[in-house]
């Protein structure tokens, strides 16, 4: 079983999701980025609009549409700070 990393997804108004996951992937202005446990620290600007995918959570795989913001990877885990964020399934339903 893969080691988990702590993930927080935060929008301007609220904490959208927090928990343990196996992997986080997102599109930054530098390209697609995948983060697993033990990834080197980094800071990336999120591409607009973009999708953040959180895989291997207790709820299953999750996807969110984000606009603006940053992704930070530290020894503690991954934090996604977005200007706006909503579940990808809500966007698909529109």
3-state secondary structure labels for all residues of the chain: CCCCEEEEEEECCCEEEEEEECEEEEEECCEEEEEECCCCCEEEEECCCEEEEEEEECCEEEEEEEEEEEEEEECCEEEEEEEEEEEHHHHHHC
Instruction: State the pLDDT at residue 94.
Output: 40
Has residue 90 got a pLDDT over 80?
A: no
pLDDT in tens, 45-72: 999 999 999 999 999 999 999 999 999 9
Mean pLDDT of 16-32: 96
What pTM was computed for the model?
A: 0.89
Domain 5-93 maps to which CATH number in 2.60.40.420, 2.60.15.10, 3.40.50.720, 3.30.420.40? 2.60.15.10
Domain ranges in the chain? 5-93
Across residues 87-93, what is the average pLDDT? Answer: 64
């Amino acid at each position: 079983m893969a080691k988990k990393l702590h993930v927080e997804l935060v929008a301007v108004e609220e904490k959208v999701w927090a928990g343990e996951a196996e992997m986080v992937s997102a599109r930054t202005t530098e390209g697609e980025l995948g983060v697993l446990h033990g990834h080197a620290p980094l800071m990336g600007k999120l591409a607009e609009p973009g999708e953040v995918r959180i895989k291997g959570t207790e709820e299953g795989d999750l996807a969110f549409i984000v606009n603006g913001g940053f992704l930070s990877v530290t020894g503690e885990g991954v934090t996604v700070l977005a200007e706006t964020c909503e579940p990808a399934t809500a966007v698909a339903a529109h």
